[in-house]
Amino acid sequence: MRISSLLASDTLSYMATIIKPGLTGNDIDQKAEEYIRDHGAVPGFKGYRGFPGSLCISINDCIVHGIPNGYVFQEGDVISVDCGILKNEYYGDVAFTFAIAPIPEETYELLSVTRECLEIGVSKAIVGNRVGDIGSSIQHHAEKIHGYGVVRELVGHGLGRNLHEKPDVPNYGRRGSGPRLKDGWAIAIEPMINQGTRRVRQMRDGWGILTKDGKLSAHYEHDVIVRDEKPDVLSDHGRIDEQIKSNDYLTLISTKK
């Protein structure tokens, strides 16, 4: 699973070298599929329940599950790229939100806080905690402290030989509730945080999920193994950050924590 998760991270790192104004979702989806197959894996999303792309590319008010298309990237766009990998019979599932410079301060703040939510949620993935401890910590940071909307209709999940396994890992909830986390559990933690309302609507294509008020959304995802004292994070966003630093078209998003 670590191999699959790191390959998903590296695919997103590659995307960080090429995303710029003038490209389209179709362009980077094709490049990603070539990269994945060149590394002896197959795109985990392509064909999954009929999904047509290798990546989910969700732009601006699209939260998740955006189908790659011919929309031309522009300055100020926020682009969530979710990458699934299947290699050696195990899945990796990693997401990262890119921002094409320049972006306003309120956009930077949304992305930074969403990354903080991911870090906070991951820190709770230790033996003895419950699933609700992950979700409640994310919800508190996003909603109570920063006033953002936490999506309810879509959640994180278990991961392994299947792309989606038990348990569901919501980004909201009550501390001390839900299944107790056990050593070795593999879970994908993926905050989906909206700039405005938490409410959503579905695109006519049956896949893309949009914010109901048309405001921006951000999405980051790590694959994590539950351990006794410290979670074992299989994916690596640091590799993506390093490539963003060398791309003059992208804004590097850091956290305050």
pLDDT tens, position by position, 166-206 = 999 999 999 999 999 999 999 999 999 999 999 999 999 99
- Report yes or no on whether pTM surpasses 0.95: yes
Whether residue 231 is contained in a domain is answered as: yes
Read off the CATH number of the domain in which 119 is found: 3.90.230.10
pLDDT reading at 257 higher than 80: no
Residues 6+ apart with CB under 8 A from 202: 208, 209, 210
Q: Are 121 and 171 in contact, with CB atoms under 8 Å apart?
A: yes
Identify whether 8 is part of a domain: yes
d(C-alpha 44, C-alpha 87), whole Å: 9
Are the C-beta atoms of 57 and 102 separated by less than 8 Å?
no
Residue 184's domain comprises 2-245
pLDDT bracket for residue 256 (50, 70, 90)? confident
What's the CA gap between 95 and 32, in Å, rounded? 13
254 located within any domain: no
Domain total in the chain: 1
Q: What is the pLDDT of residues 121-171, one digit of tens each?
A: 999 999 999 999 999 999 999 999 999 999 999 999 999 999 999 999 999
Distance, CA of 248 to CA of 230 (rounded, Å): 35
What pLDDT, on a 0 to 100 scale, did the predictor assign at position 147?
A: 98
Taking the C-alpha atoms of 7, 11, 17 and 20 in order, what is their torsion angle to the nearest 10 degrees?
Answer: -160
